[in-house]
Amino acid sequence: MLKIPFSWISPISLATSAPTKATILRRALSWLLVLQVALQAPGCYAQNNAQNNQKNTTIPLTNPQSGEVVYTPSFCNATTAAGNPQSCAGAWQSGFSDSGVPIVTSAGQNAATGNILPQIFFRFRASRVFVNMDPTSGASINITVSSNDITIMNTVQASLGTATIVNLPNGSITTLTITLLPSPPNPFSLFSVVITTPLDADPTSVFPTQTLPVPTPVSTWYNPSTTSYATTTITMPNSAPTATPTTSSNRRRMIAQAVGITVGLGLGLTAILVASFFYWKKRRRIARLWRRSASRVEFD
């Protein structure tokens, strides 16, 4: 009988040429792990990138001429306050704390300025604000935040040290008002106001042109019997800021890219897994045929 020359094929290689079930399982788990990492990577990168692309900017308090801060009824620098203290009655004054830190202080209402409540106004674009106060002061202040037609008001004790305002619409103008309340009548010292902005933010965009507001009469909103004190964190309610066409277009483009990457990776890796499975089945079928042929040759 004619014998087919299969002597050059090793039975051992035939038995081991096709991957085992354990090998296939390990490969499948490896591909699934790669798929999970690939799908999570864009979100992790976006979160880390958003955090790394922010910076804290301290608003200069002792230079109201720059337009970044407005004082009512007025502001006196340290030189004027030392040389002519009568002219600074009722005004905000710059100075230094006991530890040498530059501060801005107010002793409260004064008849020389019509008993106007001392107020400070800021306008900026930022996502967070930190109001750092002298914790040794027994004063109470009102913090008013306005943005996108939403206004919130909270009474804060200066003894808390720092008041944090979060959830601000980064692309919209926010107005922050600090008002020294008449009760209790204690001096108030402000150390600094720090805002969180994008790393590449243009200063002219962060600090828009300041306009002098009209001082708010205390009787329109302040009632000592109903005033409640806020915690150190003030959260701005969610709002729908009006986005510019460029901002809206960029946001849609980023969403489309993220969806495209996710779908593309999912389909691509799924296709690879399916192709690997059918390739394994084909290799296994061929190996089985070779083994049968080799067995027939040996019996013949």
CATH number of the domain enclosing 105: 2.60.120.260
This model's pTM is above 0.95: no
Say whether both 89 and 231 belong to one domain. Answer: yes
Q: Which residue has the higher pLDDT, 300 or 104?
A: 104
Same domain, 86 and 220: yes
Total number of domains constituting the chain:
2
Do both 36 and 118 map to the same domain? no
| Mean pLDDT, range 278-291, rounded to an integer | 77
Does a structural domain hold residue 96? Answer: yes
Q: Going by C-beta distance under 8 Å and a sequence separation of 6 or more, which residues neighbour residue 31? A: 269, 272, 273, 276
Beta strands in 54-184 (DSSP E): 54-58, 69-72, 75-76, 92-96, 102-106, 119-124, 128-133, 140-147, 150-157, 162-166, 174-180
pLDDT digits (tens, 9 = 90+) for 41-94: 555 544 554 556 889 999 989 877 777 899 999 999 888 888 888 889 889 999
Question: What pLDDT is recorded for position 254?
Answer: 63
Supply the range of the domain harboring residue 37. 11-49+251-299
Query: What is the per-residue pLDDT for 132?
Result: 95
- Residue 234 forms part of a structural domain: yes
Does residue 71 sit in the same domain as residue 41?
A: no
Residue 293 in domain = yes
Q: Edge-to-edge, what's the strand order for the sheet holding 140-147?
A: 69-72, 119-124, 174-180, 140-147, 150-157
Who contacts 78 (Cβ-Cβ below 8 Å, separation ≥6)?
93, 94, 95, 96
Is there a single domain that holds both residue 230 and residue 270? Answer: no
Same domain flag for 276 and 177: no
pLDDT at residue 272 in the model: 76
> Is 80 exceeded by the pLDDT of residue 240?
no
Q: Is there a contact between 171 and 243 (Cβ–Cβ < 8 Å)?
A: yes
Could you tell me if residue 174 is inside a domain? Answer: yes
Q: End of a domain among 242, 261, 291? A: 242
Q: Please indicate, yes or no, if residue 5 is contained in any of the structural domains.
A: no
Same domain for 32 and 104, yes or no, is no
pLDDT value of position 31 = 63
- Structure confidence at residue 11 (pLDDT): 44
Euclidean distance between CA atoms 43 and 67, whole angstroms: 39
Quick check: is 294 in a domain? yes
> Mean pLDDT over residues 286-300, rounded?
69
Say yes or no: 268 and 151 in one domain. Answer: no
Is 279 among the domain residues?
yes
Within a domain: 264? yes
Last residue of a domain, one of 197, 214, 242: 242
pLDDT single digits (tens) 167-203: 999 889 999 999 999 877 889 999 999 999 998 888 8
Q: For residues 73 and 27, state if they share a domain.
A: no
Residue 105 has a pLDDT of: 94
Tell me what pLDDT residue 35 has: 60
**Bridge partners of residue 190, in order along the sequence:** 104, 133
271 and 191 belong to one structural domain: no
Are 138 and 38 within one domain?
A: no
If asked whether residues 160 and 103 sit together in one domain, one would say yes
Query: CA 139 to CA 217: how far, in whole Å?
Result: 19
